[in-house]
Structure 1
Amino acid sequence: MLKFVLNDAATCVRNNVREFSLNALRLLPHLPQLSPYDVNLQLRENEFVYNFPVDDGIVHSYETNQLGSNSPCEDSRTEASLLHRNGFICGIFDGHGGAACGQVVSKRLLRYVSAATLPRQVLKEHIKQNCNSQSFLKCHNDNVDFVNEIKPIYEHSFQKYIKQLAQTAQRDVSSELVHAFLQLDEALSHEALATIDVRTMGVALSGAVACLVHLEGLQLHVASTGDCGAVLGVLDPQTNQWHPKKLNIEHNADNMAEVKRILDEHPKEEHETAIRNGRLLSQLAPLRAFGDYRYKWSLDIMQKKVVPLIGEQAMAPNYYTPPYLTARPDVQQHELSVNDKFLVIASDGLWDFLSPSEVVSLVGEHINSKKILEPMRLPEGNPTLQQISDQLAERKAGLTRKPIDQNAATHLIRHALGATDYGIEHSKISYYLSLPKDVVRLYRDDITITVIYFNTEHIAGLRDGTSAPAA
């Protein structure tokens, strides 16, 4: 019970973080003031940047970063290129009840999706050649593998999945994404019940929400389960202003359609208990998630297999007609245009501080500011001395906007923690980064961000037919 009280307190504080002043932070016990150097070390510790070859496809590059609050951090991230066709896939996963489910899903979901969206004939040919779960994608930021005792279990589930795929007709990408989410989630259940191993059971009983991006040709698909967020940065060529386009739907108690869906799936007698105090069965904030099988398994399974292992506290209150939870994602599809410049996906730790509009504005300003750091290029033709002088003056004026961080994800984290009406305040960031481990979750959640930059010239070529998708 204490755990849920603390979670509620943390949620209350973070939901009102915009009204939470720096003066309130100063009421805490005195904390050491970090130097700018120490702040930068912490903010940049988990930075990662990947630049694609200029003519390689629709994605120019991506930048990502992560700042933990929980120990260990419960967020995960994965990015990869699709093999056997030109495409990109990435995801952000926000775990809860421990890091296990988020870490496992972040590595496995991209493999399921990469196989599902491959043409069936190509998939069948690879199955004949004894392919494995890493045969369909190339990860760019993944230096950790599963322990040897667990890898065969996960590989067996993957082989079963792709053999079933090969026997079904090809579906559209949205349907394949939904199917991949549900099949992986079902595999988590089967693996836990078949082995009754503390590790597989730990994955099934902890949980994770997810936001996955699948990009092939001009078609962008965003599949989301839970409350991570995705926003597209669109540049208006007429006004040169940035506009956000939200590409996900949050599954929480603020979403009335989602609340109605859950209530409609259960008897009228449970309408007062299925969702209470903004939480599923008064406990779980996201209303869709991977894992969390203590809200999905039947009463019989819970009583016979989970309670003997975990104890009576494994049973949620008012648990009468499961399942109460699903991993089914909402999928939004968007066809890219030359005005679509970047996509930001992030865990809810970022959205607690910044709105989609603020995020797009900050990344847009960051793009413009970074141009100051590029070598100066003279105008084409025979520029006059006045033209050169004007260009030098413009660059000199732009130095005042020179970004502190090269990485846009770090730029967003810095603004999330340190922004005030008068700019970034170092002492505010220092306080957030100095909070003790047993307190920090009350004030900020794990923050994980990936910023994907699109190749505008390649998009233009595909739209006017002068470029063909790479094989």
Structure 2
Amino acid sequence: MNYSNINVVISTYLKVDRSFKQKLSNIWYKSCAFDDRRQFKYIALGSRFFHTSHARRQVKKDGVEVLLSPQEVTVILRKNEYNKDFPYGSVKSYDSNQLSSNVPIEDTRCEARCKMTSGFLMGVFDGHGGPACAQVISKRLFKYIAAALLPLRLLQKYIKQDPRELLIETFNDRAEIVQDLKSIYDNSFNKFLNKLLLTAKDEINIEASLKNAIMELDRDLSREVVDLYKENNTVNHKTLSVALSGAVACMSYIDGPHMYVANVGDCNAVVGTMNEDNEWFAQKITKEHNTENFDELKRIWNEHPDEERKTVIRRDRLLGELAPLRSLGDYRYKWPTEILSELVVPLIGQKAIPANYYTPPYLTAKPDIFYHRLTPKDKFLIIASDGLWDMMTPLQAVKLVGEHMKGKVFFNPLKLPKKNIQLGDLNDLLMHRKESLKSKPKDRNAATHLIRHAIGGTEYGVDHSRLAHLLSLSPDVSRMFRDDMTVTVVYFDSEYLRQCPA
């Protein structure tokens, strides 16, 4: 790690004002402990999972640049892939993967099963201004949601338990929150439980519960900085780095045929559906919260005086700085000027207060909640950060996963029918399999399949030279060509959904 380039650790290309990022990097630097100059671990999360794959370079032999081999490319692409099968229910399995462009990667993901109620939670979190906020949200949000989904009887039972059973079972969870932050977060969660107890009912409104959990966690990110300052006149640099960085989020809650998607920012969720003619159709569930969404522009304009019309959105960014128009964290765009002046300006200077910052808050974490009733025609859900959607359309992604579903069966050995089979029939079966093997994908994991095509795809297929070149770029250059990518593909059990009552 080059210390002079530490700003790369907390930066995303053109999403936050660059001079501010350089100041903010000083806070993040104080929150990091370096280990032999090659790897480092965050104070926010005691993990090295997010940043061990950044040493990607083109090799030079006798002055000649040599591309990564197909095998080397595949090793890089498959480094973070994961898949999980489930024995029963509407969710049959899921594939996930991540590929970094930033070092460390600013995306995170989480998948979990609710233990005291039914249902699965799947989420993708895209950070900016550093990875801190996205990492912390991925570790905390599903616990808040699982608690908010408890009816009164179960909530009372849970609060009385000592020790308490786990609310969620997470999968592929490789990071742990360090102890001093864990105690702060546990205290916030206990206060959230007590608030829920005051309003909990026997009948759960899922949409309201999702919204409440997301908004309450976002408010806790602020309280964990401001309350300490008010009590002791001190600033916790760790919680401050989480509150000042930000993250957009897209997560789904799936319980039988009922699917809810909560979206904050510019990640997207797309359902792959097969119509009556066996053709793939992409149902885009979410709407991005950015300047391409005119309803979002109108909302922000209406929340501020007319004289701010020209300054609240500039250069297609909030206050000329932030690309997503909703996010968690990012309290530089939410706190009153007085709080920014007291807590942040002494550490990083006047740039802590954005230009034309007259009537905060300018930003909200309020999610849009979408409901979709799953049918047997719905085959899978793709949740991905904008790093994927910048490179392909929803329909392209759905067709790629659909083709992958058809081709991946050939990763399994051929099984002959149990009944007697004639040699002629066996020959036809083998010839059909031989022909179909042409569609066998390179990767078993559908998320890897999507990332491979997003980076190296052309109208004629995957171009190895393009793929190898883009994977070889150093992080400071790579971000100009592609973003971090996080992809989760959730497969539905069509037979289960067929038996669900209408």
Same fold, TM-score > 0.5, yes or no: yes
Q: 1:30, CA displacement in angstroms?
A: 8.0
Q: 1:9 to 1:74 in 2, by over 3 A?
A: closer
RMSD across aligned C-alpha pairs, in angstroms? 2.1
Aligned equivalents of 2:175, 2:90: Cα separation in 1: 28
Aligned equivalents of 1:5, 1:162: Cα separation in 2: 35
Give the structure 2 partner of residue 15 of structure 1. none
Q: 1:384 to 1:85 in 2, by over 3 A?
A: farther
Q: Deviations over 1:301-351 (max 9, x none)?
A: 111222123221111110000000000010100111111111000000000
Report if aligned partners of 2:258, 2:371 keep a CA contact under 8 Å in 1.
yes
Give the structure 1 partner of residue 397 of structure 2. 359
Give the structure 2 partner of residue 147 of structure 1. 178
Give the structure 2 partner of residue 81 of structure 1. 113
Runs of 4+ in 1 over 6 A off after TM superposition: 2-5
Q: Deviations over 1:140-190 (max 9, x none)?
A: 111211111110100011111011112214441111111111000000000
Aligned equivalents of 2:15, 2:243: Cα separation in 1: 23
Once the two structures are superposed, the pairs formed by residues 421-436 of structure 1 within 5 Å of their partners are: 421-436=459-474
State the secondary structure of the residue aligned to 1:143. Answer: coil
Give the structure 2 partner of residue 43 of structure 1. 77
Could you tell me which of 251, 263, 280 is aligned with 1:242? 280
Give the structure 1 partner of residue 307 of structure 2. 269
Q: 1:142 to 1:358 in 2, by over 3 A?
A: same
1:231 and 2:265 are equivalent in the alignment: no
Q: Which amino acid aligns with 2:251?
A: L
Q: 1:300 to 1:31 in 2, by over 3 A?
A: farther
Q: 1:421, CA displacement in angstroms?
A: 2.1
Q: 1:411 to 1:30 in 2, by over 3 A?
A: farther
Moved more, 83-92 or 288-297: 83-92
1:418 and 2:453 are equivalent in the alignment: no
Q: Which amino acid aligns with 2:167?
A: F
Q: 1:220, CA displacement in angstroms?
A: 0.3
Moved more, 249-258 or 306-315: 306-315
1:7 and 2:4 are equivalent in the alignment: no
Give the structure 2 partner of residue 467 of structure 1. none
Once the two structures are superposed, the pairs formed by residues 319-330 of structure 1 within 5 Å of their partners are: 319-330=357-368
State the secondary structure of the residue aligned to 1:7. Answer: coil
Q: 1:182 to 1:253 in 2, by over 3 A?
A: same
Structure 2 residue ranges without an equivalent (≥5): 1-6, 18-62, 229-234
Aligned equivalents of 2:67, 2:124: Cα separation in 1: 32
Give the structure 1 partner of residue 210 of structure 2. 177
Aligned equivalents of 2:65, 2:242: Cα separation in 1: 36
State the secondary structure of the residue aligned to 2:414. Answer: coil
Q: 1:30 to 1:462 in 2, by over 3 A?
A: farther
Q: 1:460 to 1:380 in 2, by over 3 A?
A: farther
1:136 and 2:170 are equivalent in the alignment: no
Q: 1:156 to 1:214 in 2, by over 3 A?
A: same
Give the structure 2 partner of residue 60 of structure 1. 92
Give the structure 1 partner of residue 253 of structure 2. 214
Give the structure 2 partner of residue 21 of structure 1. none
Give the structure 2 partner of residue 23 of structure 1. none
Aligned equivalents of 1:311, 1:131: Cα separation in 2: 45
Report if aligned partners of 2:257, 2:374 keep a CA contact under 8 Å in 1.
yes
Give the structure 2 partner of residue 190 of structure 1. 223
Q: 1:378, CA displacement in angstroms?
A: 4.3
Report if aligned partners of 2:381, 2:489 keep a CA contact under 8 Å in 1.
yes
Aligned equivalents of 1:124, 1:8: Cα separation in 2: 43
Report if aligned partners of 2:290, 2:325 keep a CA contact under 8 Å in 1.
yes
State the secondary structure of the residue aligned to 2:80. Answer: coil
1:462 and 2:500 are equivalent in the alignment: yes
Identity, % of aligned pairs?
47
Aligned equivalents of 2:256, 2:282: Cα separation in 1: 22
Report if aligned partners of 1:63, 1:451 keep a CA contact under 8 Å in 2.
yes
Q: 1:378 to 1:404 in 2, by over 3 A?
A: same
Q: 1:339 to 1:453 in 2, by over 3 A?
A: same
Q: 1:58, CA displacement in angstroms?
A: 1.6
Report if aligned partners of 1:209, 1:227 keep a CA contact under 8 Å in 2.
yes
1:251 and 2:289 are equivalent in the alignment: yes
Moved more, 219-228 or 380-389: 380-389
Q: 1:5, CA displacement in angstroms?
A: 11
State the secondary structure of the residue aligned to 1:221. Answer: strand
Moved more, 66-75 or 121-130: 121-130
> How does the TM-score come out when normalised to structure 2?
0.84
Q: 1:436, CA displacement in angstroms?
A: 1.4
Q: 1:384, CA displacement in angstroms?
A: 5.1
Aligned equivalents of 2:162, 2:347: Cα separation in 1: 37
Report if aligned partners of 2:15, 2:321 keep a CA contact under 8 Å in 1.
no
Q: Deviations over 1:211-257 (max 9, x none)?
A: 01101121100000000010001112x31111111111100000000
Aligned equivalents of 2:214, 2:12: Cα separation in 1: 31
Q: Which amino acid aligns with 2:174?
A: N
Q: Which amino acid aligns with 1:215?
A: I
Q: Which amino acid aligns with 1:72?
A: P
Q: Which amino acid aligns with 2:368?
A: D
Q: Which amino acid aligns with 1:151?
A: K
Aligned equivalents of 2:64, 2:190: Cα separation in 1: 55
Aligned equivalents of 2:119, 2:12: Cα separation in 1: 44
State the secondary structure of the residue aligned to 1:412. Answer: helix
Q: Which amino acid aligns with 1:160?
A: K
Could you tell me which of 397, 402, 414 is aligned with 2:435? 397
Q: Which amino acid aligns with 2:226?
A: L
State the secondary structure of the residue aligned to 1:272. Answer: helix
Aligned equivalents of 2:442, 2:312: Cα separation in 1: 47
1:97 and 2:129 are equivalent in the alignment: yes
Once the two structures are superposed, the pairs formed by residues 303-318 of structure 1 within 5 Å of their partners are: 303-318=341-356
Aligned equivalents of 2:342, 2:65: Cα separation in 1: 49
Give the structure 2 partner of residue 122 of structure 1. 154
Q: Deviations over 1:405-439 (max 9, x none)?
A: 00000000100011112211100001100111211
Report if aligned partners of 1:89, 1:215 keep a CA contact under 8 Å in 2.
yes
Aligned equivalents of 1:174, 1:296: Cα separation in 2: 24
Report if aligned partners of 1:31, 1:434 keep a CA contact under 8 Å in 2.
no
Structure 1 residue ranges without an equivalent (≥5): 11-28, 465-471
Q: Which amino acid aligns with 2:261?
A: V
Report if aligned partners of 2:12, 2:479 keep a CA contact under 8 Å in 1.
no
Aligned equivalents of 1:127, 1:227: Cα separation in 2: 35
Q: 1:380 to 1:235 in 2, by over 3 A?
A: farther
Report if aligned partners of 1:350, 1:448 keep a CA contact under 8 Å in 2.
yes
